Each structure stands twice: as C-alpha cells, then as structure tokens.
Amino acid sequence: MKLTDLRPLVARRRDGALSFDGFRTEPTLAALRWPDDVLEQFLFDHGDNTAFVKAYNTIDLHTITWQLETVPAAHFTGMPTGASDEDCIESYAEIPVHWVTVRPPQIARHRDEHGTWLRPPLLIGRRLLDPDAARLRVLESRTRVGVLRGRRLREHLYVAPQHRARVGRQ
C-alpha cells in the first residue's frame, strides 16, 4: 500500500466526514498495526500534502515497523528531512523561541522542565528511500527538531542529552 492508495480516506478526512477515530479504525489502516501517534502525524495530517506524497509514495507502508526509541540529541544536529522541506528545520532553528511561544503553553513548560518535546517526532530509516543510505531522516516534526537544534546550538539552553522518537524502519 502506497500513500496514493489512501486518497479516498484522506479526501473524506479533508471534507470533515472522517474523524481521526474513524480514520484509524479503517480496515486498511488498522491492518498496518501502527501506533495512533504515527497514523495521526504521518497519514491523517499529511496524507494529502502533495510534496509529502511525492517524497514518500515509493514506500510500501506495510513494510514499515515503528518503534519508540531513544536518540541522542547530537544525532538531531545534522539529521535531514525531505527535499521539499530541506531548509525548514534550519529556519525553525534560527528563532526557536518564536516557535515555542506560538504553541500551547504546556509544550514550552515541558521543554523547559525536561529539555525535550512533549510528543515524540517521527523519524524514518533512510534505507526505506535509498537502500544505500544510512541513518535517520525527519519524517514529521520538523518544527520540534528545529527548535531542539536552535536551543542547543544557537541559544545554548538546556536540551536533554537523549530524546524519545518514533522510528520507522523496514
């Protein structure tokens, strides 16, 4: 199953005819056995984003297994995202305070107290896109990763040494 196979479901979501609860229980999605957090951030939120679909439509969704993993903060420093958004992480890193203040206050509180995000970002093994590629790529959560980079490298604010992330691999 590819992202383009989800067009009918995503169209119903876009039209307001399908809530996330309805979306996640659709038989084709339930068969993936993905965590709700991944279904929501990856497919529900971005399943109709043209650039996103173009970047990730080569992946057979059934081949991805998701795990909640601990990733060192240093690994996020140079971690790329897709070509359609390749500069966005750095733009968020330039003014991380702004991106925290435009979010609900509990996000800033959690970041200040724990040095990490409230909701784990989504990362994928780059081998899903290129068999010769290693390491991870930011799939969703470019703002969160940009804020982490900006706090760590530009503002020298407290950043936890490790962060939880949902990682998808083949």
Largest Cα separation within the chain, whole Å, is 46
One domain for residues 72 and 142: yes
Split into its structural domains, the chain has a count of 2
Which tens digit of pLDDT belongs to each residue from 40-99? 999 999 888 888 899 899 999 999 999 999 999 999 998 999 887 878 999 999 999 899
One domain for residues 84 and 162: yes
Long-range contacts of 54-57 (CB under 8 A, 24+ apart): 54/84, 55/82, 55/83, 55/84, 56/3, 56/82, 56/129, 56/139, 57/2, 57/3, 57/4
In this prediction, residue 4 carries a pLDDT of 94
In this prediction, residue 40 carries a pLDDT of 94
One domain for residues 47 and 77: no
In this prediction, residue 134 carries a pLDDT of 82
Q: Can you tell me the mean pLDDT for 104-110?
A: 92
One domain for residues 108 and 144: yes
Question: Which domain, by its residues, includes 24?
Answer: 3-62
161: pLDDT strictly greater than 90: yes
One domain for residues 58 and 138: no
Taking the whole predicted model, whether its pTM rises above 0.85 is answered as yes
* Average pLDDT of the chain, as a whole number: 92
Query: What is the percent of the chain where pLDDT is above 70?
Result: 100
One domain for residues 75 and 136: yes
In this prediction, residue 58 carries a pLDDT of 92
One domain for residues 107 and 163: yes
Which tens digit of pLDDT belongs to each residue from 127-137? 998 888 889 99
One domain for residues 153 and 79: yes
